[in-house]
Structure 1
Amino acid sequence: MQTVIIAIVVLAALGAIFGLVLAFAAKAFAVEKDPREEAIAEVLPGANCGGCGFPGCGGYAAAVAAGKAPVNACAAGGAAVAAKIGEIMGVAAGDSVKKLAQVHCTGCGQNYKKYEYVGLHDCVAASLLPGGGELGCAYGCLGLGSCEKACPFDAIHVVEGVAQVDEDKCKSCGKCVDVCPKHIIALVPYKTRRHVAIRCSSHDKGPDVRKNCDNGCIGCTLCAKSCPKEAISMIDNLAVIDYDKCIGCGICAQKCPRKLITVDGKVPEPKPAAPKPAAPKAEAKTEQAPKAETAPAAASEEN
């Protein structure tokens, strides 16, 4: 019994000694933390999405406090969080262009499959098979939801075989962009009065596109020719929008024969042709009867 008591006392003494040593070491080797870092971390949304380019909100807060990151890089927080961080850092948040994840595919290549894929319900796994997957189009959305699983904001879902973005939920974190094995998702500026998107990624020539998709870009150039701001150019058989020039007029979408250009997520209905002005009616000409000539009356004088 005495041995047990001695052992307990020794352990308690050792615990106290080690505790004092650790307390001293914590103070002696403590790294001073910038109080602004904690303040920034408190205003961040805590999504840890990595859209800012740093490992989580804590990493971003430390980078901002150290002057290594801008105050408006939090995609999830947006302008409101940027303004708060700017106040903490004593700088102006500045204007940041809102971005949106955009899927450059309509999913109409699902009707042209080379074989039936049976395996993990994952785009990355399917893309490792010969030909990059079961679709005839090498640039088409596989529709197995790798992007959907990666999104921390529940902003992208596979609908009828193709990924679609919920614009209200998207925080432009870029997770879907990174995980897509086909590289058909991109972050694009969302600043025009109406958002125009070309939903195709195929660089194949027109005849090959027609074989593998119902409405892929065939490189006809009608959209580029009709754009009043020259905001569309053809790059390797594919129409591409320059969002610095685009004004969201939607003329390109109306001219596209394949109906793959959308405005605010929809294909606009073609405007009805203006009615031609009616030809002016010809005035009826009325012929007037010639006036009868009257011979001068001869006056007869009686002598």
Structure 2
Amino acid sequence: MSIIAITILALCAIGVTAAIILYFVAQKFKVYEDPRIDEVEEALPAANCGGCGYPGCRGFAEALVKADDISNFNCPVGGAAVMSHVGALLGHEVKAADPTVAVVRCNGTCENRPKTNQYDGAASCSIAASLYSGETGCQHGCLGLGECVEACNFDAMYMDEETGLPVIIEDKCVSCGACVKACPNNIIELRKKGPKSRRIFVSCVNKDKGAVAKKACNVACIGCRKCEKECPFDAITVENNLAYIDYNKCKLCRKCVVVCPTNAIHELNFPPRKEKPAAKPDAKTVKPATAKTEVKDAPKAEPKANDSKEETSDNK
């Protein structure tokens, strides 16, 4: 037998032996994976946005299968329809969660918040926030460099060139929370859409004292507590000179909007307010002029010169 043939047989024997060993090792240390994970992953929208709090849809599917109760889980992209489907696959009852949408809590436009300097660095909000407080006197507001827009994977945001602030396209927003994480000043918040997409919120995050905040921005919250006192549902709290409206308690009565002296509270998608008609004078309160009053008010007639002469002649 030649050396080549012996070499080939030896290599084949080694390969077969290694394959057998690897097979038994794989069976010994085999990790069991629930087949329902693949089913749940297929039911998810495959957005891999991380809005659920897990690294992609696969990680979310694994967490759903392992959980005994999935009532606190939510897929912001798929919404209630996807979660109900997942609940049916896993045999759990899922309550429909209220839909949410991203809200920009800053109204510091170029008109309301004049610039005091000019930034000439990297076009990144995170870098700008780490270097200085911003181009205006408000160090809490929007930096206007659009990092939140870049983080959005659904084209649900854009920067308004006129105002210098990001704008949310509500129909495209899936409430994934990517823009919330991207903003270094935490001016973006996920809030309930509300009935008929009506929402009321304080469009300010400035925690400076009233005079300082008002000087930096014309529409800043000054912490005057008028809205807190006006709210009949205890939905408004004022902490660190800043008011906040709890959307779980707010009944959308809009009383707080009227009393805010700086217009820091915004109301979205509400019908225009009806103007109150001018009050008519009440007939009971208006007293008609009487003849007696007319007589009193009438000037007294002065005696004529001829009459005085006749009286003197009679006396004589």
Q: Is TM more than 0.5 here? A: yes
Q: Which runs of 5+ in 1 are unaligned?
A: 288-303
Q: Does 1:206 align with 2:203?
A: no
AA aligned to 2:119 is: Y
Equivalence for 1:40: 40
Q: Give 1:204 deviation, angstroms.
A: 1.5
Give, in whole Å, the separation in 1 of the partners of 2:206 and 2:35.
51
Q: Does 1:190 align with 2:190?
A: no
Is 1:97–1:189's contact at 8 Å kept on the other side of the alignment? yes
Q: Does 1:102 align with 2:103?
A: yes
- Superposition map of 1:109-124 within 5 A: 111-124=113-126
Equivalence for 1:93: 94
Q: Give 1:50 deviation, angstroms.
A: 1.1
Three-state SS of the structure 1 residue aligned to 2:130 is: coil
Q: Which runs of 5+ in 2 are unaligned?
A: 293-316
Equivalence for 1:301: none
AA aligned to 1:60 is: F
Q: Deviations over 1:247-275 (max 9, x none)?
A: 11222223323223222267x75542332
Equivalence for 1:291: none
Q: Does 1:179 align with 2:182?
A: yes
Equivalence for 1:298: none
When residues 116 and 5 of structure 1 are mapped into structure 2, their CA distance, relative to the original with a 3 A threshold, is: farther
Give, in whole Å, the separation in 2 of the partners of 1:285 and 1:229.
52
Number of residue pairs the alignment of both structures matches: 284
User: What is the aligned-residue identity percentage?
Assistant: 39
Three-state SS of the structure 2 residue aligned to 1:100 is: strand
Q: Deviations over 1:260-303 (max 9, x none)?
A: 3222267x75542332123327678799xxxxxxxxxxxxxxxx
- Superposition map of 1:249-288 within 5 A: 249-264=253-268, 271-280=274-283
Equivalence for 2:298: none
AA aligned to 1:120 is: A
When residues 284 and 98 of structure 1 are mapped into structure 2, their CA distance, relative to the original with a 3 A threshold, is: same
Equivalence for 2:303: none
When residues 114 and 69 of structure 1 are mapped into structure 2, their CA distance, relative to the original with a 3 A threshold, is: farther
Give, in whole Å, the separation in 1 of the partners of 2:247 and 2:144.
27
Equivalence for 2:228: 224
When residues 22 and 203 of structure 1 are mapped into structure 2, their CA distance, relative to the original with a 3 A threshold, is: same
Q: Give 1:12 deviation, angstroms.
A: 7.9
Give, in whole Å, the separation in 2 of the partners of 1:264 and 1:6.
84
Q: How high is the TM-score relative to the length of structure 1? A: 0.80
When residues 4 and 54 of structure 1 are mapped into structure 2, their CA distance, relative to the original with a 3 A threshold, is: same
When residues 7 and 176 of structure 1 are mapped into structure 2, their CA distance, relative to the original with a 3 A threshold, is: farther
Equivalence for 1:147: 148
Three-state SS of the structure 2 residue aligned to 1:101 is: strand
RMSD: 3.2
Is 1:102–1:185's contact at 8 Å kept on the other side of the alignment? yes
Q: Give 1:105 deviation, angstroms.
A: 0.4
AA aligned to 2:211 is: P
When residues 69 and 124 of structure 1 are mapped into structure 2, their CA distance, relative to the original with a 3 A threshold, is: farther
Three-state SS of the structure 2 residue aligned to 1:272 is: coil
AA aligned to 2:32 is: E
When residues 8 and 186 of structure 1 are mapped into structure 2, their CA distance, relative to the original with a 3 A threshold, is: farther
Q: How high is the TM-score relative to the length of structure 2? A: 0.77
When residues 272 and 61 of structure 1 are mapped into structure 2, their CA distance, relative to the original with a 3 A threshold, is: same
